[in-house]
Chain A
Amino acid sequence: MNILKRFKFQEDIDELTNNGILLPCLSSPVDLDGYRFAFESENINNHKPVYKQDPKRLVSAQENNKLTTSGYALSCFENDSKAILSYESICKIIKLFPKTAGDSLFYGKLIAEDGLVTDFSTSGHYDLYEYNDFEPSLRFLFKEKLR
């Protein structure tokens, strides 16, 4: 990890880690494919981590006290087919999912200067913890409309 770099939401993450919440294992991306959902048109929540979106999607105040560092990271997928499969599965249950996650698929190749990433889950999902100077709207470009 580049010790001179700070995460974009370092203070929020520090608050959690000071309370015993652990960061997951992270590594530097090297030309890593990143597919993520966002809105094709301008949107206030575009490329914002979930805890920075307004309003937060939580049911109870107790949940608000049990946040994890993942909420300050950007969700990505390792390839487009896994991203689309995940999107369509959720849309079957939650028809208006595009209203909260975005209506389109964006793509960018992540490099070490962008931030740190978690391991892939079985669904191909991983989190990107952005560095302070990373600008996601310049890295992730529109690929296709999903809905």
Chain B
Amino acid sequence: MRQIDGLNVKFDISQMIKICDLISFDGPLLSHYMNKKGENYLFKWVDTDNSYNRWLFFRVDLAELQNYINKKRTLYDLLTNCNDGFAYFVDIDAEIGYHNLCILSVENIDTDYLPEVDSMYEFIPSDGLNLDSFSQKYNSGILEFRITGEQVHYGSIPLSKFAPIIPKIEEIRKELAGKYIKQRKKQFTITDKEKKGAIGKTLALETQYEVIYALAGSFRLILRPVGQQTQLPDTISFADEFAEEMVGLFNAGFNKELLETYISKYNKNLIKKYNDFILYLFDNKLGLDIKWANNNSKQDYKQKIKVTETVSILKNLSDFQYNDNEEIKYKGRFFAINTRSGSYSFESTEGDDFKSSGFFDAKIKSLIFQISFNKEYDVIIERQTSEKVGEKEKIKDTLESYIENEEKIELDDN
């Protein structure tokens, strides 16, 4: 390898977080990294011998990096005009040990280590983000949403496309969290109110997220749980469990049986919100990767939804019909009856807006001529609710029984 007459410096490369491999062939050749302060660096492989691989790296503005990826600038231009005016070199051995770390003015870089003058970007970035690094840094599980698709560039997305995504994700999280917390609380047999309250609080915090980074590599949101549950190594936390449910939901769309499991475990609202979100991705030609990594518990969950896959998820969801039967008891009066067809209209006199229209049950249909419009009745109605995902709810009411209330009621003028 060439002799480098640079100035020896200290630089903690081990703390750098890889965002993306911009060029790789049998391993990385040009990679985007970020340091603790959020500064961006490009690592470019330049040379090798029997003991080391040599890398050149330099600080770069994200906007400049985007210009390079969008073919507006060459890598040669980026490097030779970099803000710092110098680049770092490091020789890395087989055990990932760092040697001969130095800085060198860009004018003194060996031409073999520089790109060609017309070094335009002609590659496809590959996902190289190491969530474990974030997890290690924050000593916490990390959740990543990576948005891909039309008009999503390296680290940028139109605000009009991005803005609706956040509330949709949050709605899904809220629905999941509410039920998850209830179910999880039930599993504890603690009677002590204080301890029970503490568990509830921990669960609430472990199922809420805060954004810690918006990153390049398509467009990524990096989140971590608000709560920081003390975690022993290799034990699964509430946050891990909840993230598994969250990632699992995005996987469930591909499989009707899994979808059924989620529906029976959670509720129709969750599936509605999920449908809304997938529909949004479909309408806007977007894809989504969701990942969770926790370095403490060694838990790792991920699911990818490609732009082209949203349509099959929507189809699975549209095949799903939510059915519910409930018995409703009310006090009120009839305001319309058709003795031939057996249909009725009924309204509550209990001070609420309850109304029901439907048919009398066949068993009592012959008795309905006895019903008076100026009397009050206690009724039992069987309500069948059915709803296809993405369509309006359908309600079918059947009046099962009515008992006359002794008091006569005053009819409104209307």
Contacts and interface: CB of A to CB of B under 8 A. Distances in A.
Interface of A: 20, 44, 49-50, 54-66, 71, 75, 86, 89-97, 99-101, 122
Contact of A59 (B23, B47, B55, B94): B55
B202 interface: no
Contacts of A20: 300
Interface in B72-130: 75, 92-94, 96, 111-116, 118-120, 122-124, 128, 130
B94 A101 contact: no
Contact of B53 (A57, A63, A89, A92): A57
A122 to B, nearest CB: 8
26 contacts: A44-B50, A54-B94, A55-B51, A56-B27, A57-B29, A58-B27, A58-B53, A59-B28, A59-B31, A59-B55, A59-B92, A60-B13, A60-B130, A62-B18, A63-B18, A63-B128, A90-B25, A90-B29, A92-B118, A93-B44, A93-B116, A94-B23, A95-B114, A95-B115, A100-B53, A122-B124
A66 B132 contact: yes
Contact of B45 (A44, A54, A94): A94
A46 B387 CA distance: 62
Interface of B: 13-14, 16, 18, 23, 25-31, 33, 43-48, 50-53, 55, 75, 92-94, 96, 111-116, 118-120, 122-124, 128, 130, 132-133, 136, 300
B29 A93 contact: yes
Contact of A92 (B26, B116, B132): B116
A55 B132 contact: no
Given A55-B48, A94-B44, 14 more contacts: A44-B50, A55-B51, A55-B94, A58-B92, A59-B31, A60-B14, A90-B29, A92-B118, A92-B119, A93-B23, A94-B45, A95-B115, A96-B113, A122-B124
A59 to B, nearest CB: 6
A45 to B, nearest CB: 9
A55 B29 CA distance: 14
Contacts of A49: 26
B233 to A, nearest CB: 15
A55 B115 contact: no
The 3 A-B pairs of least Cβ separation, nearest first, read A55-B94, A50-B26, A57-B27
A86 B25 contact: yes
Contacts of B75: 93
B132 to A, nearest CB: 6
Contacts of A65: 132
Contacts of A62: 18, 130, 132-133, 136
Nearest to A51: B27
Contacts of A92: 115-116, 118-120
B28 to A, nearest CB: 7
Contacts of B122: 89
Given A90-B23, A94-B30, A59 B51 contact: no
